[in-house]
Structure formats: structure tokens, C-alpha cells
Structure 1
Amino acid sequence: MAESRKTYRMRLRMRVRQRLKMDENHRRLLIEGREVTIKSPDVTDSSFETTWLVLNARGFQTAAEAKAFGERLKLACEVASISSRLGINTGADSFSTFVGESVVDIARQHGMELRGDIHGLDVFKDDEAVRIMSSSASSVSTTSNPTAFFARLSSTFKAVGNLNDGTSKLTYLFNLALMNRDPIAQIVLACSAVEALGQNEKWTESQKQIIAEAAMQVKTIDIGTEEERVEVSDAIQKGVFRLSLRQGVFRLLDRLGLTDLKKLWDELYTLRSTLVHGSTTERGEGHYKLASRVLSLCGVIVLKELGSQIPGVGDDMEMYQPE
């Protein structure tokens, strides 16, 4: 009976790009009436620097309730990271430290319940006997102040429920761009995040009518056999001529009121393509400069899209200044 009354705990473990300089060994945020504790694994000092953060929330009546809160918190962290240009990796909810059954059995004999360390979201029954086999390592030396991130996390949590599926998926992708230290990877990931947004754009009603008319006209052309003409007509109607990646991005920029960035997008995307397709011999410093410009441009676009669905997020443009 006592076991059935136990509540559930949500634990979210994530990595940040730069070491966060903390003035206290943990932070407490009140998010929709629930206390969320933020700290670094295995840190007891009053101040420290860390590249790993663990967020805990307790008192959930069901595992489903804890998971729903955790998924929303993860998304809010990703949005807050983008708006503060921090860069986080919220993980894939998989083990970074695994505990074998034999070790678990021995721990239980000593009154402990061992769990492997999850990079991402973990939900389990809350019990004082639970111990996490944590593991973290980093050689990063630069530091960052997390104050802006924590403030944005609190204000963003409630609103992330308004994000559509396409936008919520790109937050993880763009954070990978911010996290990555390889400039080529940054360029590819950042551009991919914007292109993914552009793929949500559709033909206008007038353009749909033009496509339908073109499909009908093909059937009347005196070229090829009737069967060949029908195949081409069907291909047109079934979407062979969809918006290109470039058209999708341009439609996105128009919708967001960023039409003046089209020329810069074309310029940087051309450089991106020459780099990715191996048609440039430039190395080293040039890659880092291009990555910085691409991250700034794509950051403005991503933030603007987030701001169109979450009021206030788009006001953080000072973090990204396209060159």
C-alpha cells in the first residue's frame, strides 16, 4: 500500500556548450506552481562551473503527468537556449551511463535503487533510495552566465504549448548547430533548420489553380502518346513540382517580414554549397567566419518564427546580428 502512494519524479539532464558559472550550488524555479530544481551532477560547492545541468521536479501523481511536464520543459529549455544563444543538447532520452542487473541487485541488498544516467528525460517513482550513476566530462574552458537562460526558461514554459509540430522539431536541430564546435557542422545544421521551416510553406491558391490548369493542358499537347501525356499530367498534380528549398525559405522570409534578408541568404547559402560540395579550397579561419555569419542569419529567422508563435521570444534579436 505504501508503494502505491509514491509520487513520480521527472529528471531532465542536458549538456550546455559553454561552462555555466554558477554562484550557488543549485537554482529553484517556480514553473506553473511547481518547483523545478536546477543543479549540476555531483557538485556541492557554493559556486562552480559546469557543462551539465540536471533539472528535477517532484510530486507528480502519475508517470504520464511527469512525462508530459518533462517534454514541455525540454522544449522550453531549447527555446530559451536559442533566444539566449546558449546552445544546449537535451539528449535522446538514452543512457550515457548504464547499470548492469547484477550491480542493481547488489545495491538493492544495501537498500539502494540504482538507475543509469539518462541524457535527456527520465521519469521514475520518487524514492529516497534512488541513486543515479552519474557521469560527465568536459574540457571546455570558456564560461557563460546562465541568468538570461533561466529567466527565459521560466517565461517560456507555458507558451511552448503553442508551437506547431514543425517548429518544435527544429528547436533541437538549431541547438545542435549552436552546440557544435565544428564550423562546417554548424553551417549545415543551421541552414537545415531554416530549410525545414521553409518546407512548411505551401503554394498559394492561385498557384494551385495554375498547376491544375497546366496538368490539364499537358493532356492536349500533340507530343508523345496519350499514356505518356497522362503520366506527366498525373505527376504534376501529385506534386512533382513542389516548392524548392530556396522557394520555401523565400516564402518563409516574406511571411516573417524578413524579405530584406533574401540577398544575404543567397550569398551565404552559395558559400555553404561550395563548402559542402567540395568546390572550395578555403580552410581554417574562413570556415569559422562563415559559420558565425550563418548562425547569426539563421538565428534571426528561427527566433522570428518562434516569436510568431510565442509572444516576446522574437524580441531577443540582439543575440543575433546578421553581417
Structure 2
Amino acid sequence: MPEPSTGTSIDTGTDRLAAHTTLRLGGPAERFVRAASSEEIVAAVRAEDEAGAPVLVLGGGSNLVVADAGFAGTVVALTPPADPIRVEQDEQHATVTVAAGVPWDALVARAVAEGWVGIEALSGIPGTVGATPVQNVGAYGQEVAQTIASVRVWDRRERREVRFAAADCGFGYRTSRFKTERYDAAGGRHTVLDVTFRFPRGTTSAPVGYAELARTLAVEVGGTAPAAEVRSAVLGLRAGKGMVLDPGDHDTWSAGSFFTNPIVDPERVPAGAPSYRQPDGTVKTSAAWLIDHAGFAKGYRAGSGRAGLSTKHTLALTNRGAASTEDLLALAREIRDGVARRFGITLVNEPVLLGCRL
């Protein structure tokens, strides 16, 4: 587990957000406040809200695209507190409450080591625990909504702490009430303080729900495998797609999957495209397939060439080392519009856009 913060610290000046995002893009913020405990987070956010000043709560910066002009407000950067994880368990289940600033993959690694089942397929995802319920983070057949019991937040509108049971979180495909209920242009109404998970205990994974992962593990879809083997397999698959952070690999200078997989009526799915029927009768198809078949292959670069698709995965839009945010957005627009012209489907960005738009 990372070294915990010992308290709030404040920086002023021209600290660029590029140093705090996985895309390595974004201009300066007016002020940085580093906060660890829930009390520090609430105090920092509340002070800015009461002053009517813009505030951005920043975790790992892995799902964020910041304008070249930066952010004219205060960034509250989360770090792990002194006591980041609380555990209650019996022979069958573990109830684990985790502070918002804990790195997500550190939790996954501990879960596998401790025999907490249900997030092993979410290995290698960057960012912090507090960000995961906002986006209902998911990969390789798992979503955090499957194991979240409750989420404790600071309600910026009512200025009080609230704990939401999982059923009240509004979880959907890459969304939640924490994403859709806004407070201002920079942030949501709810600032996540901690997340409580309820895990079955064991050494065997949850049922493997993703065909590529099942093939890698040599099991049937719906089968199981040792959780440690699932974690290892997922890390290998993600690394092969440039989805495990590596400072020396520009394919990882990204926000992960830039577009969500579109959900459309069945008749709109192009012939040959992957399709996954949803409970309401709609179909989820593959954004990566649409991008590739619209003429944007792995490694495609736009304009100056400073931004381009990953050479390993068409869903990752990457900074090739000297890109600006506008370079990246120009690439995103070109791909979005190209897919719309070819297939009549408009792709939607997954990362949060701060001070900029498509």
C-alpha cells in the first residue's frame, strides 16, 4: 500500500495538470490542495464551494482530459489516509471499506492476496478507488457495481455526508448518479469519500464473463479459475493492449478506452460487428470494431501526428509525446465523425472533459 499522507498541503503557482493525468495533458491550475482523510476532503471542497470558487477533485487522473488553458480553480488531489482500509469478515464474506484516495490496483492486488473475490478481472486499471463508482468501472466481464455495498459521499448541494446503498447509486453501463448529477462544470454533486465492498471469500474467481479472458485461461465463459491466475491473465492482456501504465511507452499515455461501446437498436448494428444483447432488447456493439472498420487502424495519426491511436488498441487515443489537448480532441472528433458517416452511430467519450469539449 502507498505511503499515507499526513495531512492537507497547499500549493500555489503554475503546477500543470499534465503532471497529474495519464494523458500527460492539461494546463496549470490556480491552486492544489492535497487531502487524505475524509475530513480533509470535505473541508477543502466545502471551503471552495462556500467561496463560490471552482473545484476539481482529482484522483489518479486516468479518466480526465484537461484543456490546454488549464483549470481556473482549486484542485483537491486525493492521497491515501493513515488508515485507508477497514475490514470485517467471517468465513463466507468480507466487508471492506476503502478510502477514496487508495490506488485501485493496490486494492485489487490485496483482494486477490486476501481471498476477496469479485474484482480480480479489474486488475491493472489506473486511478483511485473513489473514482470507480462514478464511472461504474468495468472490464473483462466485471463491474465494480457487482461488489459495491455502499458509497459514502459529501453532498455538495446539501452540504452533508450521505451513504448510498448500492441500489441507490444508479449504476449502469459506465455511469452512476455520481456521474450524472452535476454540481458545476468542474465536478459532480457528490464527492466520494469511501467505498464499501462486500466480497465472497475464496481463492477461486467469480465466473469469467468475457470470451477473450476465458480463452486465455482455457475455461468456458461462465467458468472459474484461481483468482491469482485471472489477475495475471488480465494484466497480460491489458499490457498487450497498452493499457498498463508505462512511462516509456507512449501507447499508455492515454485515458484508457476513449469511447464507450455504443448501445443501439438491433437493426443498427453493422453486419459483422460484435453484438451483445441487453436486458431491454437493445444491443451493445464494439466501439473498437467501428473505429477500425471506419478506416482508423491501430497507429493512425491525425494532423501534426502528435496524437494518434495506440499501436496496440484502436480504443486508446494517445499522446505520442508532444501533443496538446487540442491535438487529442482533433483526433477524437475525426474518429467520431468518421464512424458516424460510415455507420450512422455517434460515439460518446468515456473520459471527463474539463474546460474543453468535442
TM-score exceeds 0.5 = no
Query: Greater helix share, 1 or 2?
Result: 1
Structure number with the bigger relative contact order (C-alpha 8 A, sep ≥ 6) is 1
Query: Greater strand share, 1 or 2?
Result: 2
TM-score bucket of the superposed structures, by smaller chain? under 0.3
